[in-house]
Structure 1
Amino acid sequence: MAHFWSSIRDSRGFDALLVWLALGYLTVFSAFPLVYNFVISLQTVDLFSLASFDRPFVGLENYREVLSDPVAGTVLWNTIRFVVLSVVFQLLIGFGLALFFQQDFPGSSYLRGLFLAGWIMPALVVGAVWSWILAGDFGVLNYVLRSFGLIDENIFWLSDHQVSLYSVIIANIWLGVPFNMILLSVGLASIPQDLYEAAELDGAGAWQRFYTITLPLMRAPLGAVVSLGIIFTLQQFDLFAALTQGGPSNASNVAQYWSWQLSFQTYQISRGSVVSVLMIVFVIGVAAIYTRSTRYEQNY
């Protein structure tokens, strides 16, 4: 025992202790839930068998049932649109704001702080605010559009199957833009100003400096923002719970919300686990592609 505590007091022993504590934490709170979720996806688990542990092994049967479900195609298409549109517009708007706040003008730090205020709000609170903005009968957005004569009748943004998904996308873009702005601002700040000054002396215009200096040197930050944006967007659950609950008739349902519905509304826990496993595999693929690309850039 004395030898143990003496090794802990040694710097190398303390470092080893921290590593083992981190591994223990990851094992208990990350690895075990992932493995347990995968095991459930291979069994028949519902509300009654969850506590009794009477769970017949069915192999990939649950995967076949989920993939052949008519709802799966709708959910997949909704998820693709939700992720692509959210990530693209978060990136474009965030990059534009990052470039804007790189300029030196009075009050820039205060304006940047105002943008960050929306990002630190819980997603459920953001969803509540947007539900008020997008409300069909008394919403702020309909009032503004009617005031400018752009619409004659109220649009029911959250209950119309044609626009409900796009309403959640708009709210998610608003929520994610500040995060993109901050990460890209850090990348822009790391670019040496001497490069811009030399290019300007050579007669390069603003667009030439952007395409020849900014974009090439921002490749790694942009890749990180896109990868993290995909992962965070696939994790977005609260906005759907606050705004549309996947409706109407699955018009705004996405994979992460469908997984919750299967597990906790219809108690098809095995099928809900299947959806989450497929999402995890996709996220791991995105992370692997990003890691490989950054390693390739470092080598070359």
Structure 2
Amino acid sequence: MQTRRDAAILWLFLILPVGYMVAFVGYPVVYNLVMSVQDVTLGNLATWDRPFVGLGNYVELIANERFRLVVRNSVIFVTVNVVLQIAFGLAIALYFENRFPGARYMRGLFLAAWMLPPLVIGALWKWMYAADYGLINYVLESIGLSDGPIYWLSNPDIVLAAVIAANIWFGTPFIMLLLSAGIANIPRELYEAASLDGAGAIQRFRFVTLPMLKATLLAVACLATVYTMRAFDLIWALSQGGPIDASNVLPLYSYQLSFEQFRFGGGSAVATFSFVVVFIVALLYVRTIRHEKAM
């Protein structure tokens, strides 16, 4: 009886997470994939009587110049964010490894920015970017770096850079937290041995910190890529992808196709494209974590 009871409990705890994954992850993914090969509009959204178009939505997207611009923006947005967030996060994590009064409290205060909702961060940065009364223009004019207001969010040439800067500010504390955990796991004896051998700070960083953080950096890069690929709230609050799609990225474009133009098939195709990219990066992350545990 005890064995049967234990087996029943094990099956129960197995069925619950599997059922959750099927209902809240598997079904939406499959449903989105099915929609991406159909011509779905407001007229047939509530029914299953939808014309099958195969890869038509994907072919239309690839031929669409706007989609190519959005992909280009997404590549730039993700690449610059991941590289600079890791660079800044690593620098800040190393700085807080130094023992000085208030270091722990300053690190906690630094994390407070990451705990705010993205919409709040977007509203804050939109105020700072304001042309007439924004803090950034005021500072630039005060120190003589600007002769007049800069229209950060309405100039197509600089709006993407402005959005990237806000997202880097938002995401860096999280990266810093992850890298701080990795640095804390590096044996102090390695640094002491390197110091005894005459290695300076740069040499210790190059030959001790970076090699020991290799797996952690790869895992953090994968996580940062996944989170950045999903960016929506902050960009929507800042620029809504404009002007003229200069700051538009894949999640926003999928939303615009589905809920502004009511081209649900095209929106699902964009979402599927994003999902495939994120899924590949997630597989790389899982493989990295397994390799790190094996070591």
Residues 258 and 173 of structure 1: CA distance in aligned 2, closer, same or farther (over 3 Å): same
Aligned to 1:181: 176
Shift in CA distance, 243/17, structure 1 to aligned 2, threshold 3 Å: same
CA contact (8 A) 2:219 2:289 kept: no
Aligned to 2:233: 238
Q: Matched residue pairs, number? A: 295
Q: CA deviation at 1:290?
A: 3.6
Cα separation, 2, equivalents of 1:7 and 1:30: 32
Matches of 1:228 and 1:293, distance apart in 2: 11
**1:11 CA displacement:** 4.5
Gaps of 5+ in 1: none
The TM-score, its normalising length taken from structure 2, stands at 0.96
One-letter code aligned to 1:115: F
Q: In the alignment, which residue of structure 2 is the partner of 1:53?
A: 48
Tell me the residue number matched to 1:221: 216
Please say if 1:190 is aligned against 2:188: no
Alignment partners' CA distance in 1, 2:3 and 2:232: 46
Q: Quick one: which amino acid aligns to residue 151 of structure 1?
A: S
Q: By how many angstroms is 1:47 displaced? A: 1.2
Q: Residue 267 of structure 1: CA displacement? A: 0.4
Kindly state the Cα deviation for residue 237 of structure 1 after the two structures are TM-superposed. 0.2
Structure 1 residue matching 2:151: 3-state secondary structure: coil
2:59 alignment partner AA: R
Aligned to 1:154: 149
Q: Please state how far the C-alpha of 1:19 moved relative to its aligned partner.
A: 1.9
Q: Which amino acid aligns with 1:264?
A: F
User: Any stretches of 5+ residues in structure 2 without a counterpart?
Assistant: none
Deviations 1:120-147 (A, max 9, x none): 0000000000000001121110000000
Q: Deviations over 1:242-297 (max 9, x none)?
A: 01011111111111100100000000000000001011111111223344455567
Root mean square deviation, CA, Å: 1.7
Are 1:7 and 1:14, in contact at CA under 8 Å, matched by a contact in 2? no
Q: Which moved more, 1:169-178 or 1:201-210?
A: 201-210
Higher mean alpha-carbon deviation, 204-213 vs 31-40, is at 204-213
Partner of 1:33: 28
Identity %: 47
**Structure 1: distance between partners of 2:287 and 2:183:** 23
TM-score (ref. length: structure 1): 0.94
Question: How far apart are 1:99 and its partner, in Å?
Answer: 0.4
Q: Distance in 2 between matches of 1:296 and 1:28?
A: 30
Query: Any residues of structure 2 matched to 1:113-152 within 5 Å, and which?
Result: 113-152=108-147
- Give 1:1-300 correspondences, 5 Å limit: 10-293=5-288
Mean Cα deviation higher: 264-273 or 195-204: 195-204
SS of the aligned residue for 2:172 comes to helix
